[in-house]
Amino acid sequence: MFKVDAVTGHCRHRRHFLVKAMASSAILACRPGFANAKETVRELTFEHLHTGERLTTPYWENGAYDSDALQAINHVLRDHRTHDVENIDRNLLDMLFSLRQQLGVNQPYQVISGYRSPKTNALLHQNSNGVAKRSLHMQGRAIDVRIPRMDLTVMHKTALQMQAGGVGYYQKSNFIHLDTGRVRYW
């Protein structure tokens, strides 16, 4: 049995969890530019800056996710240090797709960091105060990206307006962080 924590609002009761999850999905689906019912194809392009790999793939077509495309995305967004692969959250992919649509661009996402193994995350956390100990990167629910020739402040502001999850702005390192956690920013 799950219960809802009165302070954080986190669901610990199964029924509350399901209701909250359905409400979140409904809100996300109703947002302009997010998972539009008229879409027949959702395509993303990634260029991983550490591995040099590039992938362009339609990951969703005619109302369904393409499992082969998802596996290819999982591979490209793997932990480039350990080569561990994890399933990337489909909502994160939809967030990236929607962001690119709202920005009106077709350039690839340059990937700084996708999935991170716990080992890699612990190493990065130890050496930087900008890496969360329990980072959503370890669950395939976060990504650090930029788009070539795209003003980072515009990209950040647009991501914030989507209200779809966490958004971090790393001006000195020239990327933004996106995740499918609760809506927050830094």
Could you tell me the CATH number of the domain that includes residue 42?
3.30.1380.10
Domain membership of residue 8 as a residue range: 1-30
3, pLDDT greater than 70: no
What are the pLDDT digits (tens) for 73-94? 999 999 999 999 999 999 999 9
| Nearest 10 degrees: Cα torsion 140, 164, 64, 37 | -170
pTM summary value: 0.78
H-only helix segments in the chain: 14-30, 67-76, 90-103, 118-127, 152-162
**Beta carbons within 10 angstroms of residue 139's beta carbon:** 18
Same domain as 174, residue 151: yes
Residue bearing the bigger pLDDT, 168 or 122: 168
Beta bridge partners, 58, equal: 43
Same domain as 4, residue 68: no
Same domain as 171, residue 115: yes
Same domain as 85, residue 59: yes
Same domain as 45, residue 17: no
Percentage of the chain modeled with pLDDT above 70: 78
Same domain as 149, residue 58: yes
Gap between the Cα atoms of 49 and 52, Å rounded: 5
Same domain as 89, residue 20: no
Residue bearing the bigger pLDDT, 109 or 124: 109
Same domain as 167, residue 104: yes
45, pLDDT greater than 90: yes
22, pLDDT greater than 90: no
Same domain as 141, residue 53: yes
Structural domains counted in the chain: 2
Same domain as 109, residue 60: yes
Percentage of the chain modeled with pLDDT above 90: 70
Q: For position 6, what pLDDT does the model report?
A: 40
Same domain as 129, residue 78: yes
What are the pLDDT digits (tens) for 152-176? 999 999 999 999 999 999 999 999 9
Q: Determine which helix (DSSP H) or strand (DSSP E) holds 56, and give its type and residue range.
A: strand 54-61
Same domain as 154, residue 69: yes
Gap between the Cα atoms of 24 and 2, Å rounded: 18
